Amino acid sequence: MIDKNLIEISGDPFIIEMMYARKENMVGQDVYQQIGFGNKAYIHKDMWACLQKLIPWLKEHKLKMKICDAYRPPLAHKKLKEIIPQPGFFASAPERSQHCHGTAVDVILTDENGNELCYPTKVDAYRPDFAKEVQSGNFKDFFEYLKKARHDYEDASIPKEIANRRELKNLMESIGLVAISNEWWHYDLPNGISETYPIIEFIPE
Ligand SMILES: [Zn+2]
């Protein structure tokens, strides 16, 4: 049975493309498929109340929002952590990841045909070459590259990418969500790890 606090995000103007439901991600495995979760985006109902406010704006600007991660089953988090145990990658335990509480989303804006707008990096700073490196235990180049994923990263040679990152941040803050300094795609519901928002165990049937 679905947890009473979770809502499934689906339908226009949201595009559901969960990164861990496919193999093109930093761990190189479709962990959400492996555990039977599939390409599903669930979120805490309080987060949904925020995200819904985006719908008129998205339609007016002929944009869509791609959801790349949302609620993450604790079992999936444990598997991700097993694949890449390196500190600085995944939170040390599901309890410490807002995704496992249903109170975080990883998002990107797209045009009306689903083409991603340009940003300083891909979501999760994914690049196939870096994914191969980190999977073989080599983190140096990737951790250096991660500075481009930060909100304070500036680069005059990519004004459009920087402007899109800023626009996304303004948009998400306008609906009451909070950014984290080192991942431009990740947004949290305030106080999203608390008694109000306990960890959620749920796999759809
Ligand atoms: Zn995230």
Domain region containing 127: 6-188
Which residue shows structure tokens 């909070």? 178
User: What phi, psi does 184 have (nearest 5°)?
Assistant: -65, -20
- Examine residue 193 and state whether it is found in any structural domain, yes or no: no
Q: What is the pTM of this model?
A: 0.96
- Examine residue 31 and state whether it is found in any structural domain, yes or no: yes
Do 55 and 100 meet the contact criterion of CB atoms below 8 Å apart?
A: no
Q: 15: CA distance to ligand 1 center in Å?
A: 16
- Examine residue 46 and state whether it is found in any structural domain, yes or no: yes
Q: 123: CA distance to ligand 1 center in Å?
A: 9
The DSSP letter of residue 191 is: T
Q: 36: CA distance to ligand 1 center in Å?
A: 20
- Examine residue 195 and state whether it is found in any structural domain, yes or no: no
pLDDT tens digit at each of 205 positions of the chain? 567 899 999 999 999 999 999 999 999 999 999 999 999 999 999 999 999 999 999 999 999 999 999 999 999 999 999 999 999 899 999 999 999 999 999 999 999 999 999 999 999 999 999 999 999 999 999 999 999 999 999 999 999 999 999 999 999 999 999 999 999 999 999 999 999 999 999 987 7
Q: 106: CA distance to ligand 1 center in Å?
A: 5
pLDDT at 22 (0 to 100): 98
Q: 105: CA distance to ligand 1 center in Å?
A: 6
Q: 90: CA distance to ligand 1 center in Å?
A: 9
Which residues are paired to 105 by β-bridges?
A: 187
- Examine residue 201 and state whether it is found in any structural domain, yes or no: no
Between the alpha carbon of residue 26 and those of residues 8, 19, 163, the distances in Å are 25, 9, 25
User: CATH number for the domain including 133?
Assistant: 3.30.1380.10
Q: 99: CA distance to ligand 1 center in Å?
A: 7
Q: 157: CA distance to ligand 1 center in Å?
A: 27
- Examine residue 74 and state whether it is found in any structural domain, yes or no: yes
- Examine residue 196 and state whether it is found in any structural domain, yes or no: no
- Examine residue 200 and state whether it is found in any structural domain, yes or no: no
If one counts the domains in the chain, the total is: 1
